[in-house]
Structure 1
Amino acid sequence: MVDNSVVSLSSVSSKAGIVASLDSDALVIAVGQGSEGPVLLNNPLSEQEASALSDSLQLLGISGAADELRRLPALPDVKAKVLVLAGVGPLKDGTNDGSISNEALRRAAGSAIRQLSGLETVALAFPASSVAELVAVAEGAALGAYSYAARRSSTDAVKAAVKNVKIITSVNAKAAKTVLDRASVLGKAVNATRTLVNEPPSHLYPETFAQAAKELAKGLPVKVTVLDEKRLEKDGYGGILGVGKGSSRQPRLVKVEYSPARAKRHLALVGKGITFDSGGLSLKPATGMMTMKCDMAGAAAILTATLAAAELGVPTKITAWLCIAENMPSGAAGRPSDVITIFGGKTVEVLNTDAEGRLVMADGLAAGSAEQPDVILDVATLTGAQMIALGNRYSAVMGDDEISASITAAAAAAGELFWQMPLPEELRPSLDSPVADLANIGEKMGGMMTAAVFLKEFVGKGKDGEQIPWAHLDIAGPAFNEAGAYGYTPKQGTGVSVRTLLSYAESLGHGK
């Protein structure tokens, strides 16, 4: 079911005359927006060719804006079939000296590779003289090399992703290999997440999602355990069962364990895996269902981030809990006013069956807490309120201040956009229920934070007797791109949070 392919990344020394021998379909050179017009950034062209090309940029109508891509005939000394100029956006402080942020490089490299789909081999001659720059260019290329055509009768309508990317760099070969190997694994993880999200609910449902997890984990040092509906009932997972019982496709809980021998810290990840969300008996309007195949993006992200950590040998123990169900209306579906018992014993009055994600996550948080990890994170396309608060490109993080700050730092290092939000204590009373321990909905204003306050109720105590350090990542908007592609981000599934989770796991493993 899951296309596990990934672009081949290789480094090429930036020695003089390299473009005359570098065989590729396209040679891509970066152009930035300077204070006085477009600026041709550092490149391997001869001084004469670079000067002539630079002088022609404005005449060619090239601005250097982000996502701009222009194909030109190859120059006489360039072996590539075509020369491509890719915009990187504004240079730092409007200068003309070629200064550019690593994230702008990452996005520009991804944009170029994405827009050059259909070509076999592309050479990137972007600024890559430092390890940090090479990381950005390599990751951008890996993220841009993605296409989804799994459910078409013919793939002719969809251009295949670029298969090979050669990056011209002055970084030494050993260091470059380390960078490219990690970028390759990261790209594979993000792209697998995108494919899972893009799969239609006719093909991806709880049982097949669990099968996909096993398939992706093959050959890696992880243990995958699948709990079916009978085991869920036996063990008392009332949240997942309560949400999933309205569907003929029964729910699953998938536990993925990565336990490296010398791990000093244990990270638990809990992911929302609603393979389709109709709203249940609290039915969504038709337009509200059109993107609801993406409601399992959190579970997909924690799965692939864990597998990437295992492939890279990250020295952190990670246990991922994929809480998978399909939320459908039927005679067997849960009703508003039902009371369900979450794993561990807490009861919840279900006032709205469309607030189902927090119910399956409650089971996962309680189960994950029982193992007393050092940190627990949950990832979910949880609330429409997240999009109202932060739009479609920023994800929210809420929870312990220290953990939330670490997540935003990891996101910044990885090139993802997360914003820390509060957990106002006055929201908790709105979740009080007259018949159960709490209700699944409360204060509407600030609903993103109300949902996080609900989840916090199911985070258990650690070995020290205090509540386990925890943060909640709401990725509702950024997980699914309904607009046009941009940078390294395609339409539909984006794979958001995978890079942040991996970055955080790595920092945790190294004691940061």
Structure 2
Amino acid sequence: MIKTTELKINAAKDARKLRSNALVVAVGQGANGPELIDGTLGGKSLQALAASLGMLGVTGAADEVRRLPGIDEFHADVLVLAGIGPVTAGMQPSEESLRRAAGSAVRQLRGMEHVAIAFPAASVAAAAAVAEGAALGAYAYTEHRTANTGQDVVTAVSVVTPAAGDKALGPALERARIIGRTVNATRDLVNQPPSHLYPETFARTAQELARNLPVKLTVLDEEKLAKDGYGGLVGVGKGSSRPPRLVKVEYSPARAKVKLALVGKGITFDSGGLSLKPATGMTTMKCDMAGAAVVLNALLAIAELGLPIKVTAWLCLAENMPSGHAQRPSDVMTIFGGKTVEVLNTDAEGRLVMADGLAAASAEEPDALIDVATLTGAQMVALGSRVSAVMGDDGVRDAVKAAADRAGELFWPMPLPEELRPSLDSQVADLANMGEKFGGMLTAAIFLREFVGEVNGRKIPWAHLDIAGPAFNEGSPYGYTPKEGTGVAVRTLVAYAEDVVARAG
């Protein structure tokens, strides 16, 4: 179902020895106007161009891409000026600035096969950021188009860098390639229409994506879920003609010292159930499975990178629909492990399937547990459409934030106020699926915390990532981010796993 795209990436020291369709150089917003930042290119033609930027109307603003005729001393059909945003004299652009500018340029150069990028990227880390941005920018979702409408993405990129001879650059570019492909596979899953992606086909696609990797998949169908007591998945999914699934994906390398569990919300379409959403509230609800797509592809990236960490991903897949079989407000369900929940609102369904996943993951006693979900509209009220929230135990929460900063993704730590917990009390069950209206993102996280298990009397270290807004870009493309599915959080989870491995020695 998913045709993963993979950018060909290599490195070169001298742009003059390259033949490409386009040579991309950076323009920054300096204190006195636009500045050409051409890395190690030099050349009289570029010097003359630098003096003419203002007259050409070039500003160097982020996402600005201007095409000019190619220059004789460089074997490229087109010279491209890519805005990199504000720059400070004597300071190198940040890795994220390079990543975004490279992604923006590649995204806007569709129809060109080979692009050379000559940014100020002298170090391995900077060159890898350029490569990763390019891999993320080389994306378009075209599966259901009947004709080519100029959607052909760039297929090969050469990163021009003095670090081209460094032995560490090869693995760094390979990591960029893997990250690009797995993020783009996540985007493909999110962009799939619900007519094509539902629990059964999601499970089948997970098997296809995992093929040839050292991972094991187990799929629990509706009968197995009912028999084993997964009341959240069964309850949410029973209103649909397409029954739920729980997909367990395991990566268990022999050298692993740490066990990490990932749980992802996989509501393949959310109508709200009997607590029906308004029509306009359903138009983006194909994205409500983004958390499951994220944890799947993060695990596959970790496996392909060969990181010595055991990771298990739990994909909690259901379709939330209204019907004569659907769960009702006031119903009580029993979550895996025995806790009961009164359903006050069937549109607060994500936390119910996640409760099953968290309880099942906890039973295997991981060293850390992270869940990812497009869980609440309150996340967007609090943090907008580009900043995700992270909540949970201080240690895991702060480690996720640090990993996100390194990866270039925007996460912000949020509290879990204890005074919100009593609002989840129920008169008929252990707890209700709805609580205090104000701070709804925090209340939802506190609900999830109830299903995080203990090991030797201590709660498993846990963090909850609410990506409701950032998972789906309803606005215009920007940087390396396309319209619709973004793939946010894959890079953060991979960086988190790398950090755990580094700390474990």
The corresponding residue for 1:115 is 108
Is 1:494 the counterpart of 2:482? The answer is no
Structural RMSD (CA): 0.9
C-alpha separation between the residues in 2 aligned to 1:340 and 1:246?
14
Q: For the Cα contact (< 8 Å) 1:147–1:158, is it kept in 2?
A: no
Alignment of 1:310-349 (within 5 A): 310-349=303-342
- The question of 1:453 aligning with 2:446 is answered yes
Paired residue secondary structure (1:25): strand
CA distance in 2, matches of 1:173, 1:200: 44
SS of 1:254's partner is strand
2:286 is the counterpart of 1:293: yes
Q: Does the 8 A contact of 2:39 with 2:121 survive in 1? A: no
The DSSP-based 3-state class of the residue aligned with 2:57 is: coil
Query: Cα distance, 1:132 vs. partner?
Result: 1.7
Residue 362 of structure 2 is aligned to residue 366 of structure 1: no
Letter in 1 for 2:462: W
Aligned to 2:71: 75
Distance 1:178 1:430 in 2: 50
Tell me the equivalent position of 2:269.
276
1:468-509 superposed Cα distances (whole Å, 9 cap, x missing partner): 000000000000000000000000000000000000011112
**Over 4 Å off, 4+ runs:** none
Asked if structure 1 preserves the Cα contact closer than 8 Å seen for 2:217 and 2:247, the reply is yes
Post-superposition CA distance 1:66-94 (Å, at most 9, x none): 00000000112121111000000001xxx
Question: Does the aligned pair in 2 maintain the 1:149–1:158 contact within 8 Å?
Answer: no
- Which is further off, 394-403 or 171-180? 171-180
Task: Write the letter of the residue equivalent to 2:376.
Answer: T
Greater shift in the superposed pair: 361-370 or 47-56: 47-56
Letter in 1 for 2:10: S
Say whether the 8 Å CA contact 1:39–1:96 is kept in structure 2.
no
1:62 aligns with 2:54: no
Residue 43 of structure 2 is aligned to residue 47 of structure 1: yes
Counterparts of residues 98-137 of structure 1 (less than 5 Å): 99-137=92-130
Q: Partner amino acid for 1:267?
A: L
Opposite residue 253 of structure 1, the aligned amino acid is L
Aligned pairs for 1:193-208 within 5 A:
193-208=186-201
Q: Aligned partners of 2:452 and 2:41: how far apart in 1?
A: 57
Q: Are 1:476 and 2:472 matched, yes or no?
A: no
Give secondary structure in 2 for the equivalent of 1:51: helix
TM-score, with structure 1 as normaliser:
0.97
Secondary structure in structure 1 of the residue aligned to 2:144: coil
Matched, 1:23 2:15: no
- 1:168 aligns with 160
Answer yes or no: is the 8 Å Cα contact 1:22–1:79 preserved in 2. Answer: yes
- TM-score of the pair, normalised by structure 2: 0.98
1:173 Cα deviation (Å)? 4.3
Q: Using the aligned pairs only, state the percent identity.
A: 67
| Structure 1 segments unaligned to the other structure (5+ residues) | none
Q: Which residue of 1 aligns with 2:85?
A: 89
Note the C-alpha offset of 1:5: 2.2
Q: Residue 129 of structure 1: CA displacement?
A: 0.5
Q: Which amino acid aligns with 2:85?
A: G
Show structure 2 runs of 5+ residues with no match: none
Structure 2 counterpart of 1:12, which letter? A
The CA distance in 2 between the partners of 1:459 and 1:249, in whole Å, is 28
CA distance 1:429–1:390, change in 2 (3 Å): same
**Equivalent position of 2:429 in the other structure:** 436
SS of residue in 2 equivalent to 1:81: strand
Residues 40, 120 of structure 2: 8 Å contact kept: no
Deviations, residues 74-127 of structure 1 (Å, cap 9, x unaligned): 112121111000000001xxx334631111111000000000011100000011
2:381 corresponds to which of 388, 403, 422: 388
**CA distance, structure 1, for counterparts of residue 459 and residue 472 of structure 2:** 32
From 242, 245, 251, the equivalent of 1:249 is 242
Alignment match, 1:485: 477
Write the letter of the residue equivalent to 1:27. L
Mark the CA change 1:225 to 1:158 in structure 2 (over 3 Å): closer, same or farther.
farther
